[in-house]
Amino acid sequence: MNLRAKIGQMIVVRASGYLFDHQRRYPAWEADNQTLQRWLTELNLGGVILLGGSAIEVKSRSQQLQSWAQIPLLIAADIEEGVGQRFSGATWLAPPMALSAIAYKNLDLAVEYAQQMGAITAQEAIAIGINWLLAPVVDVNNNPNNPVINIRAFGEDSEIVSELTKAFIEGAKPYAILTTAKHFPGHGDTATDSHLDLPNIPHDNARLTRVELPPFINAIAAGVDSVMSAHLTIPVWDKEYPATLSHKILTGKLREELGFEGLIVTDALIMGGVTKYATAEEMAVLAVNAGADILLMPEDPEIAIESVYQAVTSGKITEERIEQSLQRIEKTKLGLVSETIGEEDKGDGFNFQSTIELLAQRNSIKIAQDIVRDSTQTGGKLPLSVHNDQAKRNLLVVDDVINCSFLDLAAPAIAIPQKLGYQRQVLDQNSLGQINNDSRQTLLQVFIRGNPFRGTAGLTANAIAQYQLLFNKGNLDGLIIYGSPYVKDWFLSQIMNDLPWVFVYGQMNLAQEIALKTLFNLDIDQELPSNITNDFGF
């Protein structure tokens, strides 16, 4: 390979999991197929990160992408909650923080679940052509106001996070797939979303060594394949550069002090945490000089490659530095010798039956149910009694009604209350002025959790004011909170002791069904009719 082709192997771009251009959900970040094919063939890119599409469609998509590449691709995905979190049809697991709730009661059981999560995620990812898990999140979420890590982390306690991190990696280890510990050196104690701005971690070295670093040390000891950098500043380690662009942090701390020998990958280079710090050209050069092997989602891969190329020819980056990353990438790809980048993926088709049999297996769904059930919390006077002679409202509050993937007419949060006489009303947090113009008895279901680009982890000031009016009005029958335990804690500080309530970490259909059946004392293990089973994804 010539120098530009070698640098191309260090680039991973965003791509749609859908096969057709008109299906792309984020065209600003996802190139059309003609451009993407040119990038993969002419620029010799090292890989792609996928989002969107069903699991079966992604299998075809991954084969298509591999067929365009001269060198087998790394195909990555952010699947921290199982493959079904991103690609419909596969198993959707509870958010990782659910395991810490179990760990406080039974650490051995939580560790077992974490290992099973790693295994299920790895097996299903490989089945659809993904060979790189951008998981697990090993940040210690010790800031309740963290808007972006939140329940994506395994918990608030460094020791528990370390144990569950290790177990997840060990669960995935038998499979030909890469795991990723993120976001180094720890994104848990910030109230700023690095997708939007550059957070600052003000702690001293003793605190960082005691709290933030142990999960990464455990992950490295467990054999994690890659470590993702965080877009944040840590003045005690580097007063000038954020971690992603810091030689002191990526090379000095991660490589030399912690002894990590695998791939170092940046977090997405389109995120506000670094785009506000440096230009696209500067970011690529600084990240490589800092020690990154993979530049994830640069705004334009051609600009990134050319910038690094010019830096090498001018002497700002040594060619030896490029060779070091290239050798790590080649070694990593040679290790993925099975299903994901083998010769069979160069073909146009795949064995539909063998692929589908590996997805959402009965045992995987059973484990997903067990995790949700064992982390469920309840209180008040349960079960909620249904009075058929009263007008009833099922009030569902979400972050964004238009962009809500877990609710439709067949979702348990809508279908089960409807069978019990509750008429649905779906609103987002910014439209809650309407909720107190209704005198019907109300079941309140709140779907709020930390997510990238939200900028906040919890309830808006308007939502808090409207909920308080609802509590005072006296027509609230019951409450279900899906997602954030911090949101749950606020509600518990406000409601009457006898109000029946249920909290579950997940927001998917499986979690909805368990929450509703718990609230109304329905048979949790009762089999649903086959036509509903298919809709719910069980």
- Residues shown for the chain: 538
* Chain Cα centroid distance, residue 305: 28
Contact in structure between 100 and 162 (CB atoms under 8 Å): no
Q: Using CA atoms, how far apart are residues 502 and 387, in angstroms rounded to an integer?
A: 19
In this prediction, residues 499-521 reach a mean pLDDT of 97
Question: pLDDT tens for residues 47-61?
Answer: 999 999 999 999 999
CATH topology of domain 34-356: TIM Barrel (3.20.20)
pLDDT above 60 (res 85): yes
Q: Name the average pLDDT for the chain.
A: 91
Query: Dihedral (C-alpha) 245, 249, 251, 256: value to the nearest 10 degrees?
Result: 180
* pLDDT at residue number 365: 97
Specify the range with the lowest mean pLDDT, choosing from 6-15, 351-360, 391-400, 415-424.
Answer: 351-360
pLDDT above 50 (res 9): yes
Specify the range with the lowest mean pLDDT, choosing from 139-148, 341-350, 404-413, 465-474.
Answer: 341-350
pLDDT above 70 (res 305): yes
* pLDDT at residue number 453: 58
* pLDDT at residue number 55: 95
In this prediction, residues 268-277 reach a mean pLDDT of 86
pLDDT above 50 (res 397): yes
Task: Say which amino acid occupies 519.
Answer: L
Contact in structure between 436 and 128 (CB atoms under 8 Å): no
Q: Please provide the distance, in angstroms rounded to a whole number, between the alpha carbons at the two ends of the chain.
A: 48
- List Cβ neighbours of 311 (8 Å cut-off, separation of 6 or more): 285, 288, 289, 317
Contact in structure between 447 and 414 (CB atoms under 8 Å): no
In this prediction, residues 101-115 reach a mean pLDDT of 98
pLDDT above 60 (res 253): yes
DSSP summary character for residue 473: H
* pLDDT at residue number 531: 35
* pLDDT at residue number 532: 35
Strand 263-265, strand 295-296: pairing = unpaired
* pLDDT at residue number 452: 63
* pLDDT at residue number 456: 67
Question: pLDDT tens for residues 222-251?
Answer: 999 999 999 999 999 999 999 999 999 999
- List Cβ neighbours of 100 (8 Å cut-off, separation of 6 or more): 110, 154, 155, 156, 157, 160, 161, 164
CATH topology of domain 376-536: Rossmann fold (3.40.50)
pLDDT above 50 (res 530): no
* pLDDT at residue number 347: 45
pLDDT band at 198 (very low <50, low <70, confident <90, very high): confident
Contact in structure between 273 and 313 (CB atoms under 8 Å): no
Question: pLDDT tens for residues 370-381?
Answer: 999 999 999 999
pLDDT band at 504 (very low <50, low <70, confident <90, very high): very high
Q: Phi then psi for 129, rounded to 5 degrees? A: 95, 5
pLDDT band at 528 (very low <50, low <70, confident <90, very high): very low
In this prediction, residues 501-526 reach a mean pLDDT of 91
In this prediction, residues 487-514 reach a mean pLDDT of 95
Task: Locate the domains of the chain by residue range.
Answer: 34-356, 376-536
* pLDDT at residue number 190: 87
pLDDT above 70 (res 216): yes
pLDDT above 90 (res 361): yes
* Chain Cα centroid distance, residue 414: 25
Specify the range with the lowest mean pLDDT, choosing from 39-43, 117-121, 201-205, 223-227.
Answer: 201-205
144 versus 309: the higher-pLDDT residue is: 309
Residues designated catalytic? 195, 267
Q: What percent of the chain has pLDDT over 70?
A: 92
pLDDT above 90 (res 425): yes
pLDDT above 90 (res 388): no
Specify the range with the lowest mean pLDDT, choosing from 143-152, 195-204, 348-357, 439-448.
Answer: 348-357
pLDDT above 80 (res 193): no
* pLDDT at residue number 258: 98
pLDDT band at 337 (very low <50, low <70, confident <90, very high): low
pLDDT band at 457 (very low <50, low <70, confident <90, very high): low
Q: What percent of the chain has pLDDT over 90?
A: 77
* Chain Cα centroid distance, residue 280: 25
Q: Using CA atoms, how far apart are residues 26 and 239, in angstroms rounded to an integer?
A: 35
pLDDT band at 339 (very low <50, low <70, confident <90, very high): very low
